């Protein structure tokens, strides 16, 4: 799977170093050329000799040591890397990279590389959850560094929680995944909506819904990594827009409609994951409404159905909608597919545990224009995003 690929493995100092020996061995078995750089503290846990024997190449530790082979050191390693794996990525090393510090062979080489960098954090739970470490991870993610989430369980320090180095097979699977990343959306313009809209009642209150935006953001991220030119139009969420998207933030359904229509004619594929409010207050009170009556009546008027309009205006576009239902899932979803002139609808029963709003998983049924229904099992929103894109590309 990794035949001929150059993978540089940066090993920082933590007890999980012993697991990285297995990672290196597995990468070799997949056909990769593996070069290891260790920090001095990593070398206190496992000797460079072990990594040299497993990788079949000299191991670089000391910046100032007499060079044995210039082809595998410092800048040479930075530029030969097809992928840079940092495991374990300690809090200290993550902090150095996030803040541009290069004071040893490993941090210097990471700074010098233009290859994709994958970090596998491993540390004590409180260290991992420390806001400074979390900020550093967010910063690096926004800059395009890749992370594999640490596992949960008993840690070497005797505590239980998040911070374990993922199992070697999971790390190697992620490396393979990064190399295999398909570019099947290259040259395609994809318009995605996400999150819920907010319809103002007064300057303080609004009518909203429980959409987190996670599904739409996952699709946007996957489409970018598959080569698409992505415009993401989003209602308010707590999420950071994926790197590489053109992002437009909106609040109300009316604003979302304007934004979507202005991009529509230029789009090849439109995926409407947003939970758009069907009604809005007929008038927005210019001042905060005071609680001086026992009841309050709000008159609501219908919002435009954006997806219906897109279906009417459709020319060359592939249109994908979502249907979140609490009853008669297939009946309602099929009716929306036809009425809105869609090519595919992603239907999910939000009453099922592990499906719907504000969770990280979904249980979807994909319904196609020809009536064919594909039932998917419970999976992460990231996995579902890839499947939706796979089906669009058929």
Which residue(s) pair with 379 in the sheet? 362
CB of 260 to ligand CTP, least distance (A): 8
The single residue of 80, 152, 157, 181 carrying the catalytic annotation is 157
Alpha helices for the chain (secondary structure H): 17-29, 40-45, 48-55, 74-80, 91-98, 105-112, 125-129, 131-142, 168-180, 214-225, 253-264, 306-313, 329-339, 381-392
All residues at 6 or more sequence positions from 390 whose CB lies less than 8 Å from its CB, including other chains: none
Radius of gyration for the alpha carbons in the chain, expressed in angstroms and rounded = 25
Residue positions counted in the chain: 394
For residue 197, the minimal CB distance to ligand CTP (Å) is 8
Binding site for ligand CTP (CB under 6 A): 253, 272, 274, 276, 278, 303, 305-307, 321-324, 336
How far apart are CB 375 and ligand CTP at their closest, in Å?
Answer: 19
Are the C-beta atoms of 117 and 86 separated by less than 8 Å?
yes
Minimum distance of ligand CTP from residue 70's CB (angstroms): 57
Nearest approach, Cβ of 332 to ligand CTP (angstroms)?
Answer: 6
Pick between residue 20 and residue 367 the one whose CB is nearest to ligand CTP.
367
User: Which residue number, 171 or 306, has a Cβ lying nearer to ligand CTP?
Assistant: 306
Give the burial class of 377: count Cβ atoms within 10 A of its Cβ; 0-12 exposed, 13-18 middle, 19 or more buried: exposed
Q: In the complex with ligand CTP, which residue's Cβ is closer, 75 or 331?
A: 331
Pairing of strands 344-349, 83-89: unpaired
Burial class (CB in 10 A: 0-12, 13-18, 19+), 353: exposed
Contact between 394 and 366 (Cβ < 8 Å) = no
| Rounded Cα distance, 355 and 272, in Å | 18
Give whichever of 132 and 331 is closer to ligand CTP, judged by the CB atom: 331
Catalytic residue list contains 157: yes
Please say which residue, 35 or 322, places its beta carbon nearer to ligand CTP: 322
Q: Are 301 and 282 in contact (CB under 8 A)?
A: yes
State the minimum distance, in angstroms, from the CB of residue 271 to ligand CTP.
8
Q: Please, which residue, 305 or 383, has the CB nearer to ligand CTP?
A: 305
Query: By CB neighbour count within 10 A (0-12 exposed, 13-18 middle, 19+ buried), where does 221 fall?
Result: buried
Catalytic residue annotation: 157
């Amino acid at each position: 799977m990794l035949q001929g690929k150059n993978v540089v493995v940066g090993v920082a100092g933590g007890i999980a170093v012993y697991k990285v020996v297995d990672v290196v061995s597995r990468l070799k078995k997949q056909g990769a050329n593996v070069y290891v750089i260790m920090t001095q503290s990593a070398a206190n846990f496992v000797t460079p000799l072990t990594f040299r024997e497993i990788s079949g190449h000299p191991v670089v530790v000391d910046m100032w040591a007499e060079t044995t082979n210039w082809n595998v050191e410092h800048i040479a390693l930075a530029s030969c890397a097809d992928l840079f794996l940092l495991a374990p990525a300690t809090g200290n090393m993550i902090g150095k990279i996030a803040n541009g510090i290069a004071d040893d062979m490993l941090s210097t080489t990471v700074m010098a590389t233009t290859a994709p960098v994958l970090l596998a954090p491993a540390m004590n739970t409180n260290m991992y959850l420390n806001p400074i470490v979390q900020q550093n991870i967010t910063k690096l993610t926004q800059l395009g560094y890749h992370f594999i989430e640490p596992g949960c369980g008993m840690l070497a320090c005797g505590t239980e929680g998040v911070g374990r180095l993922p199992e070697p097979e999971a790390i190697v699977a992620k490396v393979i995944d990064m190399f295999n990343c398909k570019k099947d959306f290259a040259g395609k313009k994809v318009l995605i909506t996400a999150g819920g809209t907010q319809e103002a009642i007064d300057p303080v209150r609004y009518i909203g819904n429980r959409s987190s935006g996670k599904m739409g953001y996952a699709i946007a991220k996957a489409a970018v990594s598959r080569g698409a030119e992505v415009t993401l139009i989003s209602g308010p969420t707590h999420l950071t827009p994926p790197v590489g998207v053109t992002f437009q933030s909106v609040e109300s359904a009316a604003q979302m409609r304007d934004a979507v229509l202005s991009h529509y004619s230029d789009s090849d594929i439109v995926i409407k994951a947003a939970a758009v409010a069907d009604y809005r207050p007929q008038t927005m009170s210019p001042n905060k409404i005071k609680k001086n009556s026992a009841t309050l009546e709000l008159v609501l008027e219908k919002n435009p159905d954006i997806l219906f309009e897109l279906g009417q205006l459709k020319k060359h576009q592939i249109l994908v909608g979502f249907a979140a239902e609490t009853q008669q899932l297939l009946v309602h979803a099929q009716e929306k597919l036809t009425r809105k002139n869609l090519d595919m609808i992603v239907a999910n029963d939000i009453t099922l545990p592990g499906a719907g709003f504000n969770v990280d998983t979904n249980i979807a049924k994909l319904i196609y224009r020809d009536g064919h229904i594909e039932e998917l099992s419970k999976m992460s929103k990231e996995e579902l995003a890839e499947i939706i894109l796979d089906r669009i590309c058929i």
